[in-house]
Structure formats: C-alpha cells, structure tokens
Structure 1
Amino acid sequence: MLDTLNTMITNMLGPAGPLMVVAGLALLLILATVPMLLRQKPDPMDKLAKSGRDRIDAETKAILRDTRRNAKLNKYAQYLEPKSAEELGEVRLRLLQAGYRTRDAVRIYYLSQMVLGIGLLALGTLYFFMFKNGADATMQQKLLYIVGPGAVGYLAPKYWITKRVEERKKQIEEGFPDALDMMLVCVEAGQSLDQSIVRVARELRASYPALADEFEIISHEMKAGKDKATVLNDMGDRCGVQDVSSFVTVLNQASSFGTSIADALRIYASEMRDKRVMRAEEKANKLPTKMTLTTMMLTVPPLLIILVGPSVVSITQLGNMAIK
C-alpha cells in the first residue's frame, strides 16, 4: 500500500513528490498546533503546584513572564524565553557582554533565531522547488537547499552575538590601561573613587565607548545605593575580561583590608602597562611568520616570470624557426 501511494505521488508531483507531501503535512501540523497552544488556559492545579515552589523559582518565573514588558512579545513569551533559570542567566550574561542591556533583549534574541530560521527555511524550500527541482536531485542536494538556509538563519544571531562579545572584549582590553592611569591621576588629585569613575567614563567615551559604558553603569549603581563590592563584581562578569576581574579583586581587597586605593591602583596600572607592551611585542613577533606565506605568494611568481619569461620566449621562437 505504501509503495502504491509512493508511486502515485511520484507520478503526480515528480521525484520530489514524497518530500513535498511530508513537508506539507508537517507545515499543516505546525499551523494547527500553534493556535491550540496559544488558546489553552492554565490549569488550576498547575497554579497550586507553582505556588508551592521556593522563592528563587518564583522570582525566576516572574522575570520570565513579566507582563510589564513588550506586549507584542508577551503574547509569544513561551516560545521566546528559556525554560530554566540557568539558561536564562547564561543567555542574559552573554547579551550583556555583547552590549545588549534592554529588558527585552533575551526575547528579541530568541525571536530573531525563530524568524530567521523559519523564514530562510521557507525561502530555501521555495527556491529548491522553483529552480532546482529535478529527477537527478539527490537527498544531499535537497538537504543543502532546504535545511541549509534554515540552519544558517538559526545560527546567525548566535554568531553575531559571539562576534560582538569578542569585539567588546578587545576594546576593553585595549582601553583598560589608559582608564587605570586616568583613574590613578584622579584619585591622587584628591577625588574619591566614585568621582574618578564618573570622570573616567566621561573622558573615555570618544575612544573606548564599551569601557565607558561599563564605568557609567558602575557610577549609576553606586548612586542608587548598591553595595560597591557587588557593583564591581557585576562589572567583572559583564566585561568577561581577566584584567577587569583582577582589577575588581584588587579594589575589593583594598577596601576590605583598609589599604590605600591609590597605591593599589598605581601598582596595578603599572602591571597593565607592562602587559600591554608584552601584547604588542607578541603581535610584532607573530607578524613575520604571518607574512611569510603572503610574501612567497606575491613575490615568487612575479620573480619567476621576470627571470624565466624571456628564456621561455626565446626557446619558443627558436623552436618555431627550427620547424620552418
């Protein structure tokens, strides 16, 4: 029976007929399931079970289902948010390190993955059936043209976030020694640590905006009354840079043991300057190795043409004369 049905579909729709039927049935099932999930009402027993959970789970669910957020995204919240506190924390930290701090950043991230994945999957399917559908199409080609664009669309937001995180980390590493020197000057001039952070954030805005944003967040949180150690630790987590984490540890230790912040900044700023020089020397030492292959590719062929070219032309002319 299945063979007869497969033969009938192939005769009607061509070699890709079974794949078209399966894709159509899957699309119909998805379209039929989504309205049912959107219209389903919460079970009262589920509400009682949720009310008996501990406070951390309750706060996590409140954050994930905050109705004060974007009303359009709240409608599809269950599809646009992680299902656990650990996943939520990882995604939120990753977006913070990339510079996205809006309250709907997690939802927009998941929405972009869903929209790009489904959209490119539909475009790939349409392109395949309109231009590439044929009797000689293999399963590998079908997967390449149909599933490939969907996978690219799903992974594109993750790749973008990864690149943004790398760029911000690089910018913070490059500007952090200058920020420490400026902060040391401000502290030695008589300003407090809070005032020096505000001044550093304002002066670094033109050169290193990512680092200036982090210092500005610190100043706002300190003005709001948040504990200084917690604020500094949060900065270390947001930056994701080892130098910043070490700087946070130095300031917390200086504050805990009552030592001079200026002395701690002076020593650490000197270490950061030395570290920046070492990184520059490391890049300079890697440069000849990286240029070797490029030099060979761009220098050797023209040199061979200049040296061997006249001999080849002369030999060819002599050969033609000998033939005549």
Structure 2
Amino acid sequence: MYDLLVSFTKPQTLAAWLVAAAVFGTFVTVFLPYLQGNKLETRLKAVATQREKLRKQSRAALEKKGLRRRDESLVGEISSKLNLAKALEDPNVVKLMNQAGLRGPGPISAFYFARMALPFVGAAFTFFYIFFVNDLGLSVMMKYGSVVFGAAAGFYAPNLYVSNLAQKRQKSIMRAFPDALDMLLICVEAGMSIEMGFNKVSSEIGSASPELAEEFGITVAELSYLPDRRQAYENLALRTGHEGVKAVCMALGQAERYGTPLGDALRLMAKENREMRMSEAEKKAAALPAKLTVPMILFFLPVLFLVVLGPAYIKYQKMEKDNDAAPSLTTTQVESPVDHA
C-alpha cells in the first residue's frame, strides 16, 4: 500500500495525470457542441413542420368548402354558356360577396343567374297579380309601370340580399374582434408565431363568432402559402370591410415589414377596437328614444288613453242612464193622485 502511494506521488505520475486531464478537457470542449446538437435549428424545423401541417389543414378545409376554380353545377354551366359574368358585370360583386362569406365561383355564378332570372320572375308575378287577381283600380299606364317596377325589383334583389348578409356578418365579426385581439396578444407574448396565434384564436373564438373564426382560418392558410405575408393581412381587411380590422391589419403589415414588436401594436389595437365597440353601443342607446317615439305613439298612447278615460266614460254613460230614468219616475209619482181623484 505504501509503495502504491509512493508511485502515485511521483512527479512523473502526476504529470501523466495532468496531461490526461488536459486531453480529456480538450476533447470535451471540441466535441461537446456536436453532441448537444443545434437547438435553434431543431426549433426552426419544428416551426416549419407545424407551418406545413397548418398549410395542409387549411388547404383541405378550403377544398372541403368547395372553393374551386370552376363551377361545375347546372347553374354554373348556364352562367358560363350565356356569359352572364360579362353581360351583367359588376365590379364590386366579388368584394361584396367575400364580405358576405360567399366565396368561390359557385356563389358568383348563382348571383349572376339570379340577376338574370329574377327580373322575369318579378315582372311575371306583378303582371299576373295586377291583371288577373286584383287590379287595384289602376290605369293601364300604372299597371305596366308596376310590371316594370317588379322587373327592376327582381334585378336589384340579389344585391340587397348580399348587402344585408354582409352587414350581419360584419356585425358578428366586430362583436368578437376585440376579444380575439386580446387572445392573439396573449398567444404572441407567450412565444407563438403569428400563424399559430391565428390558428389558436380561430379555434377558441368559434363559439362566439363562427364568421371571425372562419376569417382567421383563411388568414392562416394565406400566411402559409402566399409569397408576401402582408398580402394575407390586406385580404383579411378586404374580406371584413371594417375600419378597425383595417387598422389592425395595417399594424401587422408594418410589424412584418419593419420588425416592430407585435405585442405593443396588438395591445393598442385591442384597446381602440374595444372603445369603438363601446361607442357603437352608446350611439345605439342614444338613438333609442328617437326610435321609440313612433311605436309609443302608435301602440302605447292609445292603450294609455283607453285605461285612463275608459272608467270615466263608463261612469258618464251610467250617469246619463240615471238622468234619463229619473224624470219618468217623477212624472209617474205626480200624476197618480190626479187620476185617483
């Protein structure tokens, strides 16, 4: 044992141990980074994989909804053969139908077909009603004018329907948009990418506003395959057609271009949209008394007059009957003694 300790304490042995430790340290220093791997590259690969997964899911969802390049239905074939899109061309129809949630060639073909067919239907219905059912005492000129009015109403009916549908969709989107911005802000500040944030918010906001969830889902798909990501934000602004959404999309586009923080922009935009929603509610509340004037005059005041004046009128009628019965009784009582005499 003593000899072993003496051998370990020799200068040559200690030098050998120091050289071995230095070689091992050098080996670890040189080869350890290769053994650990590149975490950044692994994370970028995971993000690319997730983006590709979102792209496939979004494209599958879009294809499932029937967003094809050509409408193969009967209405689409008729519209294509008659070339209704060129004959009844409307420059704003695509934008308006996108705002109404009607996308793809199918709704556009149906719109132009309805614009072609409904004038004939309206004119035929008006002609049959006025000339065969009820002429309303109109002159011949007024009857034919009514037929022309029916045709014009049928021509503009599709525009009114799509406009009404777009307004309802816009109201549904704006009711849930500030809350969606808050959730998107939380996702971004938690470290998610903007695509994953939009995808998460679209799945969470669906119960409150299916329309907004659909728009966010389409934005995720466009962020995945469009060459310019700012175009996806511009398309979202065009599909919604609201100033609040346009401001948010502009802020997102600037953040994408100049690299400004998304958190501050989203927080500010969420506050502005919430204030905008509150101002809209206050405006409706302020306009409520003026809107209630006509219903109160037509429905409330007659009932009030009936309740207030009804008992007085009944009492007055009863007094009139008593006054009519009193003179006849007095005359009978006075004339009775004379008859007995």
Q: Same fold (TM over 0.5)?
A: yes
Percent identity, please.
Answer: 29
Offset from partner CA, 1:119-165 (integer Å, 9 cap, x none): 23223334444334799753213432x33433332222111101001
Residue 276 of structure 1 and its aligned partner are, at CA, apart by: 2.3
Residue 290 of structure 1 and its aligned partner are, at CA, apart by: 3.3
Residue 299 of structure 1 and its aligned partner are, at CA, apart by: 4.2
- Map 1:275-290 to 2 at 5 A: 275-290=276-291
> Which structure carries more relative contact order (alpha carbon 8 Å, separation 6+)?
2
- Map 1:147-166 to 2 at 5 A: 147-166=148-167
Residue 282 of structure 1 and its aligned partner are, at CA, apart by: 2.8
1-structure distance, mates of 2:282, 2:171: 17
- 1:28 is matched with none
Which structure has the greater CA radius of gyration?
Answer: 2
Distance 1:311 1:154, change over 3 A: same
1-structure distance, mates of 2:138, 2:150: 21
Aligned-residue CA RMSD in angstroms?
2.8
Task: Give the AA of the match of 1:97.
Answer: Q
**TM-score with structure 2 setting the length:** 0.67
- Map 1:170-185 to 2 at 5 A: 170-185=171-186
Residue 237 of structure 1 and its aligned partner are, at CA, apart by: 1.0
2-structure distance, mates of 1:241, 1:299: 38
8 A contact 2:70–2:105 mirrored in 1: no
Task: Give the AA of the match of 2:185.
Answer: L
Residue 296 of structure 1 and its aligned partner are, at CA, apart by: 5.2
- 2:115 is matched with 113
Unaligned runs of 5+ in 1: 1-65
Task: Give the AA of the match of 1:151.
Answer: A
Say which SS state the counterpart of residue 173 (structure 1) adopts. Answer: helix
Say which SS state the counterpart of residue 205 (structure 1) adopts. Answer: helix
Offset from partner CA, 1:86-119 (integer Å, 9 cap, x none): x554211111111110223222101012222212
| Worse-matched range after superposition: 116-125 or 288-297 | 288-297
Task: Give the AA of the match of 1:81.
Answer: A
8 A contact 2:237–2:245 mirrored in 1: yes
- Residues matched between the structures, number: 256
Unaligned runs of 5+ in 2: 1-67, 326-341
Task: Give the AA of the match of 2:261.
Answer: S
Distance 1:245 1:147, change over 3 A: same
1:265 aligns with 2:269: no
**TM-score with structure 1 setting the length:** 0.70
2-structure distance, mates of 1:88, 1:104: 16
Say which SS state the counterpart of residue 103 (structure 2) adopts. Answer: coil
- 1:40 is matched with none
- 1:319 is matched with 320
8 A contact 1:128–1:142 mirrored in 2: no
Offset from partner CA, 1:183-241 (integer Å, 9 cap, x none): 00111111011110111111112211111111111111122243111111111111110
Residue 261 of structure 1 and its aligned partner are, at CA, apart by: 0.7
8 A contact 1:113–1:157 mirrored in 2: yes
2-structure distance, mates of 1:230, 1:314: 78
8 A contact 1:169–1:241 mirrored in 2: yes
1:81 aligns with one of 71, 81, 85: 85
